[in-house]
Amino acid sequence: MIRNAGARRAHWSSRWAFILAATGSAVGLGNIWKFPYMAGESGGGAFVLIYLVCIAAIGLPLLMAEIMLGRRAQRNPVDAMAVLAREAGASAAWRALGVTGVITGLLILSFYSVVAGWMLDYLVLGAGGGFAGLDSAAAQSRLSALLADPQRMLLWHSVFMLMTAAIVGGGVAHGLERANKLLMPALFAILLFLLVYGLIWGEAGRAAAFLFHADFAKITPGVTLAAMGQAFFSLSLGMGSMMVYGSYLKRDTSIVRASVAVAAMDTVVALLAGLAIFSIVFAHHLEPAAGPGLVLQTLPIAFGDMAGGALIGSLFFVLLVFAAWTSSIALLEPATAWITENTRLTRPRASALLGTAAWLLGVAVVLSFNAWRGVTLFGLGIFDALDYLSSNILLPLGGVLIAVFAAWVMKAGHSRQELNLDATLYAVWRLTLRYVVPLAIVLIFLQLTGLLPRLT
Ligand code: PHE
């Protein structure tokens, strides 16, 4: 047993509090902003199918592993990896996995906050009746004007980062748990409302056909990697967020049941958001595959064209802001827990300090859309480079290493005790993490780099 595990640590007040918080971490811009346009661009049902397989075969077992590691260690991800490695008699270098995770969280937070800032900007626009009569040219120039305006983007980026740091500074019970208990039910209610609206007044049939009709010709190694990266990103895996949330979990909660609930809710939200969005898009005769502009450029035209569009449009952006907020606090929490547990800094100070660091990097992201437009890293703009580096490289890499640690390094007796699964299911879980997860991730990497022939 690990010494001092959890003796004086803050904990979620109930199993539900944990499930809501972990779902809050998982459900974010990834589900509502990114998933629908990725599916739209990359082969509809074929993409959805690969995504679902990635969630079930790679995401769920890893989610269980991450939560398990956190709960056993009852510490922030860096110290968790250190004590778990010691317990397993393994190299102290495993601590580096925790450090990389914490840093990845801050990297993602930097551009996540900029994008969430756009949503705040559109929320204010919509609430003020700004969608009325928007045509395609006006919607396009509205978005370009925002992206060309560093001051306005900086303002919203700052507001969102403050919102995030304020909650994380409030601690587990008064910050994280309270925010998720308020925001998540509201998020579900808004999503259901928009879905019902889409079903009644939209083109739900065409939306379903578009999302689920499989076009396998569009499945390339790049698309497969993107689907896997998106599964990691969407379940908040590979960077310690689920680990730190697991570390606030009491011993009597079933990790397996909670993980299934979180993965299921995350997937359902992505699919329902896609259905709601495309129902509205088709009803207003708009282009479905509009890429990242789907939510900011295409949908506002539909909101401007419908009765009650100011209300529906504002609700939609409230949905996005709530989803982003409960995720951004999960991005800042691993680093904050690490610093708070290892220095004399109080939690509010640590979260302010780390929020400022992510904010500064976010300033570069803001500028990459205007003043620093020509600046590229590996041929990508700063924003795209950070997104690619984190979702397609750091998260899958963190995922493989967590799988290797949980299934090869950790003693079977320990993981079995934490997961409390029957012998067969436990064996399936362990074999999946030992072989399937690392192999899948390595294969997809090799394919992408061209070292393997295309497997389409
Ligand atoms: N899962 C979040 C989303 O889908 C993003 C996220 C990643 C949050 C990693 C926390 C940790 O938007």
The pLDDT of residue 226 = 79
CA–centroid distance, residue 343 to ligand 1 (Å): 27
CA–centroid distance, residue 329 to ligand 1 (Å): 10
Q: Whose CA is nearest to atom 6 of ligand 1?
A: 236
What are the pLDDT digits (tens) for 156-190? 999 999 999 999 999 999 999 999 999 999 999 99
Instruction: Locate the ligand 1 atom nearest the alpha carbon of residue 236 and give its number.
Output: 9
CA–centroid distance, residue 269 to ligand 1 (Å): 13
Residue 87 included in any domain: no
What are the pLDDT digits (tens) for 209-223? 988 888 788 778 778
Pocket of ligand 1 (CB under 6 A): 25-26, 28-31, 108, 233-234, 236, 239, 241, 327, 330-331
Rounded CA-CA distance 80/342 in Å is 12
Domain boundaries, position 276: 19-64+96-238+250-448
- Residue identified by tokens 């995770």 is 101
The pLDDT of residue 317 = 97
CA–centroid distance, residue 326 to ligand 1 (Å): 9
Q: Whose CA is nearest to atom 11 of ligand 1?
A: 236
Counting ligand 1 atoms within 8 A of each CB, the residue from 23, 25, 51, 110 with the most, and so the one to mutate, is: 25
Residue 278 included in any domain: yes
- Angle subtended at Cα 338 by Cα 240 and Cα 257, rounded to the nearest 5 degrees: 35
Residue 74 included in any domain: no
The pLDDT of residue 456 = 40
Residue 88 included in any domain: no
Residue 6 included in any domain: no
The pLDDT of residue 177 = 97
The pLDDT of residue 1 = 55
Residue 216 included in any domain: yes
Containing 381, the helix (H) or strand (E) segment is strand 380-381
CA–centroid distance, residue 348 to ligand 1 (Å): 22
**Mean pLDDT confidence for 395-405:** 94
What are the pLDDT digits (tens) for 258-281? 999 999 999 999 999 999 999 999
**Mean pLDDT confidence for 316-333:** 98
CA–centroid distance, residue 120 to ligand 1 (Å): 18
Q: Whose CA is nearest to atom 7 of ligand 1?
A: 236
**Mean pLDDT confidence for 80-103:** 97
What average pLDDT does the structure give for the chain? 93
CA–centroid distance, residue 112 to ligand 1 (Å): 9
Residue 321 included in any domain: yes
Q: Whose CA is nearest to atom 9 of ligand 1?
A: 236
CA–centroid distance, residue 130 to ligand 1 (Å): 29
User: pLDDT confidence of 4, banded at 50, 70, 90?
Assistant: low
What are the pLDDT digits (tens) for 429-453? 999 999 999 998 887 777 666 665 5
Overall number of domains in the chain = 1
**Mean pLDDT confidence for 304-330:** 96
* DSSP 8-class letter at 410: S
Query: Under a CB-based contact definition with an 8 Å cutoff, are residues 334 and 147 in contact?
Result: no
Amino acid, res. 439: L
pTM, two decimal places: 0.94
Rounded CA-CA distance 308/302 in Å is 11
Q: How many whole angstroms from its chain centre is CA 274?
A: 16
Residue 71 included in any domain: no
pLDDT of 455 higher than 60: no
What is the token pair recorded at 428? 């399936």
Counting ligand 1 atoms within 8 A of each CB, the residue from 66, 114, 167, 236 with the most, and so the one to mutate, is: 236
CA distances from 348 to 70, 149, 247, 330, 351 (A): 22, 31, 19, 15, 5
* DSSP 8-class letter at 451: S
CATH at 406: 1.20.1740
| Weakest mean pLDDT among 172-186, 283-297, 349-363, 414-428 | 283-297
Instruction: Locate the ligand 1 atom nearest the alpha carbon of residue 29 and give its number.
Output: 12
**Mean pLDDT confidence for 324-340:** 98
What is the token pair recorded at 19? 């499930």
**Mean pLDDT confidence for 364-388:** 91
CA–centroid distance, residue 25 to ligand 1 (Å): 6
Buried b (16+ CB within 10 A) or exposed e, 75-88: bbbbbbbbbbbebe
Instruction: Locate the ligand 1 atom nearest the alpha carbon of residue 31 and give its number.
Output: 4
Counting ligand 1 atoms within 8 A of each CB, the residue from 114, 233, 244, 325 with the most, and so the one to mutate, is: 233
